[in-house]
Amino acid sequence: MATLMKDIILSSSHPKELLLQKHADFISSYGVNKDEYEYCMTEYLRMSGVYWGLTAMELIGNLERINKQEILEFIKLCQDDAGGIGASVGHDPHLLYTLSAVQILSMYDALDIVNVDRLVQYVKSLQQPDGSFCGDKWGEVDTRFSFCAVACLSLLGKLEEIDVEKAVEFVVSCMNFDGGFGSRPGSESHAGLIYCCLGMLSITGHLHYVDADLLGWWLCERQLPSGGLNGRPEKLPDVCYSWWVLASLRILGRLHWIRRESLVTFVLACQDPETGGFSDRPGDLPDPFHTIFGLAALSLLGEPAIKPVNPTYCMPQHVVDRLGLRPQKLTL
Amino acid sequence: MFENTKKCDVQSRQYLLFQENTIPRTFIFSYLASTNLKSQNLKQFFQSHGAHHQWSCKGYSTIPYCLPTCWLQCHVDISDQILEFNMHGRVKTKTNAEDKEAKRKEKEKKLKLYQTGIEKAFTKRKTGEYDEESLAISAQLLTANPDITTLWNIRREVLLHFKDEGQRTEDDLQQQMQAELCLIEQCLRANPKSYAAWHHRRWVLDNMPIPIWKQELALCNKYLDLDERNLHCWDYRRFVVERSQVPAADEFEYTSKKILANFSNYSSWHYRSRLLPLIYPDPMGKLPIQERKHKEELEIVQNAAFTDPSDQSAWFYQRWLLGRTLQALRLAQVHVSYDTVCVSLTHSVSVICDKSKIRLELQLNGDNFPTTWKSTNGQQYSHVWISALPKELLSGDKTLAITVSLHSGSSLVHYMSLNSGKLKASTKPQFSAGFSEGITSVLQDELDSCTQLLDLEPDSKWTLLTSVLLMQAVDRHKYQEDTLARLSQLIQVDPHRSGYYKDLWSRYKMEYAFDQNNELDQNIDLSCLNLTALYHCHYLSCVHTLDLSNNNLSGHSLSQLHPLQCCQVLKLDSNNIANLHGMPALMSLQILSLRSNVINIPDEVKYLEPCICLSSVDLSDNPTEKDEMLQELVKTFLPSVKMLNTCPL
């Protein structure tokens, strides 16, 4: 029984140059028409959508095209009495969107427009006795939320408000035979969750728990002949994994374990030459999610036209520097 | 490729259909709402699709729970067209103006449905109307997009309200929760990877009067037959297994079945790795699992790997089984100079954090000497720790007995004593796998099989890499040359990962070099080894002179040198070093040679400032050598340096 290698074949018709201006146009046109179907259907994740768009614009030096005041007003409206922030007005607070909001406010240096004390209390209230974090009051536990919690609190300079050792203990209990991490103890390794767990350990300075060679090898095996990266063995490549895998390798000091040029070719091929924006794979429809991760990946790969991005926070490096944060990175 | 995915999706829908014949009312309502069917047309609609059960058209509450599958069949076809939205794998297609307009209208309609629905749902919640209608509206919206978390929250509030209100019987509530489970199944058809839908299922099971775990396990079996890699379903399965206390051995049996059906099933191999240590723990605690089972697993996975050498899953699992045995935490090296004690450990630990419970203690002539430890990498966790000693302690003729002890909690783990003027102690690093004879003979067989396979397919990457790992596990000294030869070959046949293989080469090269030096002190020569990375540097904490010249090291590697607290002479000539910002504070370093590197900015010398004893820095044959600023910068930042760009040795 021969396995079919799951990959795509790049054709010569796909873009080979970076279409920066088109991406800026793509992001800034997104949401101009608030009654557009695609826009409305993503209301439930709006706050993250805004974070993706803003980070993309800042990385390509076009942030001024975004209406800052409108966004700050929006965030204010999304904070609920308990302190947490929801995806959109009327939607319930959740750690995912609380982090996105804090990332946006950090970029704008405007943290004071929300009630930070309550926000911190909200994050703190979601830590469980085993150290894990729930996403909201309805009890879903996931290592994604461990990352959200520590990323959020570290951006606010309030990491000491939670039991960091316990939080680390939980994340480490999610480590697998392949050196990777899943969403809960026993869950299979997945590049997105590996990124969250490494990010969490990087922020709290506990990367020594990781078998960096074993995990680094698993991560570099995500690169397929097309140059693209998948998120798990025997899966298709996808631009968003260019970020999850690449940022993880960067945190581990092993970015050179994949072939840079082939990944650049793949990511560039995922651009939409008509509308701008990146899609998951060449020829698919673009969206802001894949656009930020495509751009951030190119930044990590050294593309000079894009500002440096911080691998732990997926935020512009100069913002992380301004906040005086130095998330841990390994070297070889 | 995409077509295949789509096809599989369609098949999965059909498969699901034939498993179902009970449908609760909210579920039906959501279907009807999504297809815009008016209730007066219901009877006609049902009958035209072969539903001949008794029912009334006054309201949906009397709709029969049992419907024939052909009805569902037709409904799924319709539900395909409802407003599904997912950001992955949406293929961009060219459409003509007419199609575009039709599409636009279609979207407009869907949008209207969504906007009216969500507004109604939110308003009802605000006004405290926790009722059937609220459930119906959210069901309609969620079948189209199960990721709208807030709608699930509203449903939970309604369901809890029903429970607390006390007007419903246990049976009613059970029925209601069963209905919820059906709705979730419907939602999972729109998106089988919806975090929110899977979480809601957990919540329902934890909140229904009588959870039917068997039914849930069957659902997992069904879903995993459709997609054996669905992470969410595997996680849900583990939840069911935990709550209903399914024996680990049964689950292990299940993974065996899945693997036999398809070796290329990473999820099953993964689950196995979690179950094995539970069922067959190693009584000695050194191996992941007990020896008999370890051998069995090695044989199974070898069989799988050789059946299809291009499939990754089995190779990853095999690598886990080939992993080195767990090493105990020990002191590796202790070194005392006239004002510092430097301790290197086998693991990276924190000796300053109360919660880690690891402590280092220092005794002088039998008395405890309270001291403060500092990591050499500037982090909270480190392999190497230093502490200052009063200078007068080691001056004069007095001989000191120094003992460094490592404690974990209240127990002594390991100690090293320096008596009668000795200033250092060390244990030999242990790089061999440490497998028993029994396991080693199985591995030897596997290695022989790999070699045979390589005769047939000399460029098989997975076979090459596994044979390298096997050689290291069986007898690393005997296979030194072969190990390195196969790594060189891997660099050629798998260029995407050449960086990895080069670093692995560096690791093995350093391990071999460390083995050759009986005492890792005085002079260590690691030059001309083609090193691209530095490993195990904590075994260099007692070295006086280290030569790393003629390798391929970059500036990134410099930070690895932090354990070199006793090193006086460091040679890094002829590497690829472009920057020095990773340079750690090396307190004893006097002579640093960086000849023939690629440093082109004189400012880089600033990063040598923490090395306070530096007397000679050699930057000849670097682009920055002739820079006028260099002298000036050295004078400012490195006042102790007497010799620049000349070799004192």
Q: Does A89 touch chain B (CB under 8 A)?
A: no
**Residue B452 forms part of a structural domain:** yes
**Residue B66 forms part of a structural domain:** yes
Residues B610 and B631 in one domain: yes
**Residue B407 forms part of a structural domain:** yes
Q: Which of B483, B383, B497 is nearest to B433 (CA)?
A: B483
Does the pLDDT at position B13 exceed 90? Answer: no
Q: Which domain holds residue A206?
A: 20-323
pLDDT value at residue B397: 63
Does the pLDDT at position B62 exceed 50? Answer: no
Average pLDDT of the residues in B477-503: 97
Looking at the structure of chain A, the number of domains it has is 1
Give how far Cα B525 sits from Cα of B513, B545, B548, Å.
8, 8, 7
Task: Quote the CA–CA distance of B345 and A159 in Å, as a whole number.
Answer: 29
More confident site: A176 or A37: A176
**Residue B113 forms part of a structural domain:** yes
**Residue A189 forms part of a structural domain:** yes
Residues B483 and B591 in one domain: no
| Out of A178-192, B35-49, B254-268, least confident range | B35-49
CATH number of the domain bearing residue B220: 1.25.40.120
Residues of chain B contacting residue A205, judged by C-beta atoms under 8 Å apart = 379-381
Which A positions 299-318 lie with beta carbon below 8 A of chain B? none
Does the pLDDT at position B611 exceed 90? Answer: yes
CB–CB of A253/A244 below 8 Å? no
Which B positions 424-443 lie with beta carbon below 8 A of chain A? none
pLDDT value at residue B128: 96
pLDDT value at residue B17: 29
Does the pLDDT at position B372 exceed 90? Answer: yes
Residues B542 and B630 in one domain: yes
Residues of chain A contacting residue B556, judged by C-beta atoms under 8 Å apart = 253, 331-332
Query: Using one digit for the tens of pLDDT, what is the confidence trace for A215-242?
Result: 999 999 999 999 999 999 999 999 999 9
pLDDT value at residue B396: 64
**Residue B323 forms part of a structural domain:** no
Task: Quote the CA–CA distance of A199 and A211 in Å, as a whole number.
Answer: 15
pLDDT value at residue B86: 52
Question: Tokens 């119906």 label which residue?
Answer: B136
**How buried is B415 (Cβ within 10 angstroms: 0-12 exposed, 13-18 middle, 19+ buried)?**
middle
Q: What is the DSSP letter of A54?
A: H
Q: What is the DSSP string of B346-373?
A: EEEE-SS-GGG-EEEEEEETTEE-----
pLDDT value at residue B94: 72
- Cβ neighbours around B39 below 10 Å, total: 14
Residues B412 and B464 in one domain: no
Q: Does A273 touch chain B (CB under 8 A)?
A: no
Q: Does B136 touch chain A (CB under 8 A)?
A: no
pLDDT value at residue B433: 85
CB atoms A136 and B149 under 8 Å: yes
Task: Quote the CA–CA distance of B396 and B376 in Å, as a whole number.
Answer: 29
The enclosing H or E element of B137 equals: helix B132-144
pLDDT value at residue A136: 98
Q: Does A280 touch chain B (CB under 8 A)?
A: yes
Does the pLDDT at position B20 exceed 60? Answer: no
pLDDT value at residue A151: 98
Q: Which of B203, B236, B197 is nearest to B220 (CA)?
A: B236
Chain A to chain B Cβ contacts (< 8 Å): 188
B85, B117, B143 — which closes off a domain?
B85
CB atoms B379 and A138 under 8 Å: no
Q: Does B357 touch chain A (CB under 8 A)?
A: no
Q: Which domain holds residue B415?
A: 331-426
Does the pLDDT at position B594 exceed 90? Answer: yes
Does the pLDDT at position A126 exceed 50? Answer: yes
CB atoms B496 and A331 under 8 Å: no
CA distance B49 to chain A (A): 32
Question: Tokens 């579920």 label which residue?
Answer: B27
pLDDT value at residue B526: 97
CB atoms A139 and B379 under 8 Å: no
Q: Strands across the sheet with B367-368, in order?
A: B367-368, B358-364, B402-408, B411-418
Q: Is the ipTM of this complex over 0.90?
A: yes
pLDDT value at residue B63: 33
Question: Least CB-CB distance to B231: which of A91, A187, A280?
Answer: A187
Q: Which of B636, B603, B614 is nearest to B570 (CA)?
A: B614
Residues B35 and B71 in one domain: yes
**Residue A306 forms part of a structural domain:** yes
Q: Give the percent of chain A with pLDDT over 70.
A: 98
CATH number of the domain bearing residue A68: 1.50.10.20
pLDDT value at residue A85: 98
B284 pLDDT band, cuts 50/70/90, is confident
Question: Least CB-CB distance to A92: which of B149, B316, B499?
Answer: B149
Question: Least CB-CB distance to A178: which of B202, B320, B498?
Answer: B320
Q: Does B107 touch chain A (CB under 8 A)?
A: yes
Which B positions 138-177 lie with beta carbon below 8 A of chain A? 145, 147-150, 152-153, 156
Does the pLDDT at position B16 exceed 60? Answer: no
Residue to substitute from B262, B316, B350, B493, interface A, most A β-carbons within 10 A: B316
pLDDT value at residue B39: 41
Question: Least CB-CB distance to B381: which of A86, A206, A218?
Answer: A206
**Residue B137 forms part of a structural domain:** yes
Average pLDDT of the residues in A183-210: 98
CB atoms B316 and A208 under 8 Å: no
Nearest residue on chain A to B495, judged by CA atoms? Answer: A259
pLDDT value at residue A319: 98
Query: Using one digit for the tens of pLDDT, what is the confidence trace for B410-427?
Result: 999 999 999 877 888 998
More confident site: B124 or B33: B124
**Residue A52 forms part of a structural domain:** yes
* Residues 6 or more apart whose Cβ sits within 8 Å of residue A234: A3, A6, B229, B264, B266, B311, B312, B313
Query: Using one digit for the tens of pLDDT, what is the confidence trace for B132-168?
Result: 999 999 999 999 999 999 999 999 999 999 999 888 9
**Residue A230 forms part of a structural domain:** yes
pLDDT value at residue B96: 82
pLDDT value at residue B73: 32
Q: Which of B134, B142, B236 is nearest to B187 (CA)?
A: B142
Query: Using one digit for the tens of pLDDT, what is the confidence trace for B377-402?
Result: 999 999 999 999 887 776 666 677 89
Residues B355 and B474 in one domain: no
CB atoms A178 and B231 under 8 Å: no
Average pLDDT of the residues in B286-301: 89
B33 pLDDT band, cuts 50/70/90, is very low
Q: Round the average pLDDT of chain B to a whole number and report it.
A: 85
Query: Using one digit for the tens of pLDDT, what is the confidence trace for A20-31?
Result: 999 999 999 988
pLDDT value at residue B395: 67
- Cβ neighbours around A138 below 10 Å, total: 18
CB atoms A37 and B111 under 8 Å: yes
pLDDT value at residue B87: 62
**Residue A173 forms part of a structural domain:** yes
B234 pLDDT band, cuts 50/70/90, is very high
| Out of B117-121, B245-249, B439-443, B518-522, least confident range | B518-522
**Residue A268 forms part of a structural domain:** yes
Q: Which of B80, B82, B81, B154 is nearest to B119 (CA)?
A: B154
Query: Using one digit for the tens of pLDDT, what is the confidence trace for B324-363?
Result: 777 889 999 999 887 899 999 999 999 998 777 899 999 9
Query: Using one digit for the tens of pLDDT, what is the confidence trace for B74-109?
Result: 333 333 333 334 567 777 777 788 888 898 899 999
B1 pLDDT band, cuts 50/70/90, is very low
Task: Quote the CA–CA distance of A155 and A112 in Å, as a whole number.
Answer: 13
CB atoms A44 and B496 under 8 Å: no
Residues B221 and B160 in one domain: yes
**Residue A270 forms part of a structural domain:** yes
CB–CB of B349/B356 below 8 Å? yes
CB atoms B150 and A90 under 8 Å: yes
DSSP-assigned beta bridge partners for residue B592: B570, B617
Residues of chain A contacting residue B156, judged by C-beta atoms under 8 Å apart = 138
| SS3 of chain A: helix, strand, coil, percent, to 5 | 50, 5, 45
Task: Quote the CA–CA distance of A193 and A231 in Å, as a whole number.
Answer: 10
**How buried is A158 (Cβ within 10 angstroms: 0-12 exposed, 13-18 middle, 19+ buried)?**
middle
CA atoms within 13 A on the CB side of B236: 33
**Residue A232 forms part of a structural domain:** yes
CB atoms A187 and B234 under 8 Å: yes
Q: Does A40 touch chain B (CB under 8 A)?
A: yes
CB atoms B557 and A40 under 8 Å: no
CB–CB of A224/A7 below 8 Å? yes
CB atoms A140 and B195 under 8 Å: yes
**Residue B335 forms part of a structural domain:** yes
Q: Does A73 touch chain B (CB under 8 A)?
A: no
Looking at the structure of chain B, the number of domains it has is 5
Query: Using one digit for the tens of pLDDT, what is the confidence trace for A51-86?
Result: 999 999 999 999 999 999 999 999 999 999 999 999
**Residue B602 forms part of a structural domain:** yes
Question: Least CB-CB distance to B91: which of A139, A178, A283?
Answer: A283
Give how far Cα B566 sits from Cα of A92, B34, B402, B511, Å.
58, 75, 18, 21
Does the pLDDT at position B644 exceed 70? Answer: yes
Residue to substitute from B231, B384, B558, interface A, most A β-carbons within 10 A: B231
Does the pLDDT at position B535 exceed 60? Answer: yes
Average pLDDT of the residues in A47-51: 98
Q: Is the dihedral of CA B175, B159, A140, A53 positive or negative?
A: positive
Q: Could you tell me the two tokens for B367?
A: 């008395």
pLDDT value at residue B65: 32
B20, B54, B85 — which closes off a domain?
B85
Query: Using one digit for the tens of pLDDT, what is the confidence trace for B178-207?
Result: 999 999 999 998 899 999 999 999 999 999
Q: Could you tell me the two tokens for A36?
A: 């557009």
Residues of chain A contacting residue B496, judged by C-beta atoms under 8 Å apart = 220, 223, 225, 258-259, 262
Q: What's the whole-model pTM score?
A: 0.90
CB–CB of A307/A58 below 8 Å? yes
CATH number of the domain bearing residue B587: 3.80.10.10
CB atoms A223 and B496 under 8 Å: yes
